[in-house]
Chain A
Amino acid sequence: MQLAVNIVVLAAIYALISCGYVLIYRVSRVLNLAHGELMLVGAYLLYSTASLLGGNPLTAVAMAAVLGLLVGVLVYVLLMRRMTGEMVLAAVLCTIALGVMLRGATVLIWSAQVRHPMEALGWSNPSLVLFGDARISLISAILIGATAVVYAALFGFLGFTRWGIRMRAAGQNPLLASQRGIQLHGVYALAWGLSTFTAGLAGMLISLDSSLDGTMTMIGLKAFPAALVGGLDSLAGALIGSAIIAIAEVLLIQFVNPLLSDVVPFFVLLAVLVIRPWGLFGSKEELDRV
C-alpha cells in the first residue's frame, strides 16, 4: 500500500515538473534544459519571502509564486527572445548555459547551505495515516492536489481561453499565427512565465517536504524523460509519462537496487526513443537536424 502511495506522490512530482517542459516545447519547439534550475530558483524565492514575511506564510507562498512567473517572463524577454528563429539547437544550448549560470547564481545569492523553508514559514509537516497503514506527508498530499489543479487549469486554459488558443496556434504554425495578428513574443513570454511558475511551485513543494539545496536540479532533469515518454507536445502524455516513470522508478528501487534511482528515467527514455521517438501521445514531426 505504501508503495502505491509512493508511486502516486512521485508521479505527481514528475507531472508537475514535466508540464513546464511540455508547455515551452509545445509553444516554441524549444527544449528547456534549465527547467531544474528554474525550479531551484522558485524554491529559493519561497525561502527568501518566507524569511522576509515570517508572520504570514500564505502571503509568502503567493508572492514567491508570482515572482517565479516574473522570472520566467524575464528569462524570455532578456535571453530566449533573441534565440527565436535561430536553430533549435542553439536555443537548447542557450538554456543549458542559462542553467549553469542560474546554478552558480543561486549559490552566490543564497549560499550552498542546505535550507529548510518549512521552518522559515513556521509550518509543520505531519504525516497523515491513510487506509491500510500507508502514510503520506501533508505536503505530499498538497502536492498531489496542486498537480491536479495545475493540470485542470492548463487543460482549461489551452482549450477554452483566448490566450490558450493563441498559444496552441503559435505552436502549430508560428508564421501563420503571427500573420493572424497573434503577438508571438507575448505568447512565448507567457509560456515561459507559466512554465517557470509551475516549476517554481514544484520546487517550493519539494523543498517544503524535504530540504533545499542544489541537488534539486537533478529531480528537474529526471522529470524530463517523463515529458518525452508521453510525447513532448502533449499535456495528457506528460501525465501518463510521469506515471510510467514513477512506477518504474519506485518498483526498481524497491526490488532491485536503490542506486538505480538516478538512471531509471533515462533507461525508460532510451527505450522510448528507440521504439517510438515522438512519445506515446506526441505528434509525429519532422525532427530537426543539427
Chain B
Amino acid sequence: MPNASGYFRTSLDQDLVLLDTRTQKVSCAVFCALLLFVPFVAKPLFIDIANQVFLAAIGALALMLVTGFAGQISLGHAGLLAAGAFTAGILFKEFAAPIWVTLPASACIGAVFGLIFGLPSLRLRGLYLAVSTLGLHFIVVYLGGEYETRRGFSTGIPLDPPSIGGWSLDNGRAWYFVLLAFAAGATLFSINLLRSKTGRAWRALRSNETVAEALGVHVAGHKLLAFVISSAMTSIAGCLFAYYRSFVSVEAFSLFLSIQYVAMVIIGGLGSILGALLGAVFVVLLPYIVEWVTAILPLTASISGLIFAINHTVFGVVMVLFLLFEPRGLVGIWQRLQNYFLLWPFRQTPLSSER
C-alpha cells in the first residue's frame, strides 16, 4: 500500500520482506483470518462461488504472468486448462491414478504444451502470436474430444473425488481449503517470481525486446520459460477443476473460456498480480450478479430461459466498457481510490495520461 508521505527502505533486508508496514501486516492478517473463517458460516452456494474464484485466480495469475508481464498474448488458455483436466481424467480412467500422481503429471503435460504454445512466439509477435495460440486451443480441444469418442466417454469422463491421506475431498468446504491453499500458493509464487531475475527479464522483454537482448536477457529462453511456467500453472488449475467438478468434458473448454480468462486479465488490469485476482473475482461473480439483478427486476418468467444469453451480452458490454474507458482495469480504479484518500484533502490530477 503506498504511503502519502513515502516509505523508504534503507537496507536489503527491508527490501526483501513482502509486507513491510504494520498496516500491511495487520490488514493482511485480518484478510487471511476472514478467508479461513468464511467457510464455517457461509452457505454452500457461496462456498461454491469462492471455490470457482480460487480456480479462476490460479488460471488468471498464470495468464497474467505470460500476458501482463512477459507481454506474450495468449488466446489459447482454455486449451491449457483442457490439457490439465484431460491428463487427470485419462490417468484416472486408464490407470486409476491417485491425485498425487495426476497433479504433477498435469503440470508436466502443461509444461510440454507450454513449450509448444511458446514456440510460435519465437518467430511471431502480437496479433500473429495471438492467432497461433488460438489455433493451438482448437487442436488441444480436438485431441480431448478424440479421446472421448474413441474410448466411449462421449458425454465426458467422470472422476471420483480424490482423497489425500485418507481425507476425502467430497464436499465444498474441504475443497475450499485445498483451493485456497493452491490459490495462495500461486499468488505467492507469482509475486516472488516477479521479484526475481526471471520476472525482471520478462518485464524487460515486454518493454522492448531489442533493448532486453542488449541488456543480456536471453530472449528466446525467457519467452519459452514464461509460456512453460504459465502453462504448468494453468494445467494444475485444469486438473483441480476436473476433480472439483468430478467430470471432464470438452464442452467445458470452449473458446469462450479463453476469452473469459483474457477478460479477467484485462478487466483486472494488465501487469498487476492484484489485477489478476480482482479480475478473477469480477468475472466469476458477474453471472451471479446478473442472475441476482434479473431476479429482482420485475420481469416475466420467460426471461429465465435466456439467462445464458443475457450473461453473454452483459459480459461483452462490460469488457468493451473496460477497454474503452478504463484500460488500466480494476487496479486502476483501486489506485485512484487509494490516492484520493491518501492525498485527501488534496486532489490528484495526473499531468499526462499515465500508461
Contact = CB atoms under 8 A, between A and B. Distances in A.
A266 B266 contact: no
Contacts of B206: 290
A107 B312 contact: yes
Given A94-B320, A94-B323, A267 B139 contact: yes
B185 interface: no
Contacts of B135: 225, 266-267, 269-270, 273
Contacts of A149: none
Given A263-B142, A269-B131, A288 B126 contact: yes
Interface range, B side: 35 or more
Contact of A269 (B126, B129, B132, B308): B132
B125 A289 contact: yes
A54 interface: no
B73 A277 contact: no
A267 B306 CA distance: 35
A100 B263 CA distance: 11
B64 to A, nearest CB: 13
B123 interface: yes
Contact of B323 (A93, A103, A228): A93
A129 interface: no
Contacts of A31: 127, 131
Contacts of A152: none
Interface string A254-290: 0001011011001101100110010000000001111
B124 A287 contact: yes
A247 to B, nearest CB: 18
Interface range, A side: 35 or more
Interface string B201-220: 00000100100000000000
Contacts of A92: 127, 130
A96 B127 contact: no
A224 B129 CA distance: 14
Contact of A288 (B125, B259, B312): B125
A94 B270 CA distance: 15
B316 A101 contact: yes
Given A100-B259, A103-B312, A259-B142, A82 B324 contact: yes
A107 B142 contact: no
B139 A105 contact: no
Nearest to B319: A97
B131 A108 contact: no
Interface in B86-127: 119-120, 123-127
A194 B133 CA distance: 29
B262 interface: yes
A89 B125 contact: no
Contacts of B306: 107-108, 111
Contacts of B184: none
A262 B142 CA distance: 8
A221 B310 CA distance: 23
A160 to B, nearest CB: 30
Nearest to B119: A274
B145 interface: yes
A102 interface: yes
B142 A260 contact: yes
Interface in A57-87: 79, 82-83
A96 B320 CA distance: 9
B71 A290 contact: yes
A110 B129 CA distance: 35
B324 A100 contact: no
Interface of B: 67, 71-73, 119-120, 123-132, 134-136, 138-139, 142, 145-146, 149, 206, 209, 255-256, 259, 262-263, 266, 306, 308-317, 319-320, 323-324, 327
Interface of A: 31, 79, 82-83, 88-90, 92-94, 96-105, 107-108, 111-112, 221, 224-225, 228, 257, 259-260, 262-263, 266-267, 269-270, 273-274, 277, 287-290
14 contacts: A31-B127, A83-B323, A93-B319, A97-B316, A108-B310, A263-B138, A266-B136, A267-B139, A273-B120, A273-B128, A273-B135, A287-B124, A288-B126, A290-B129
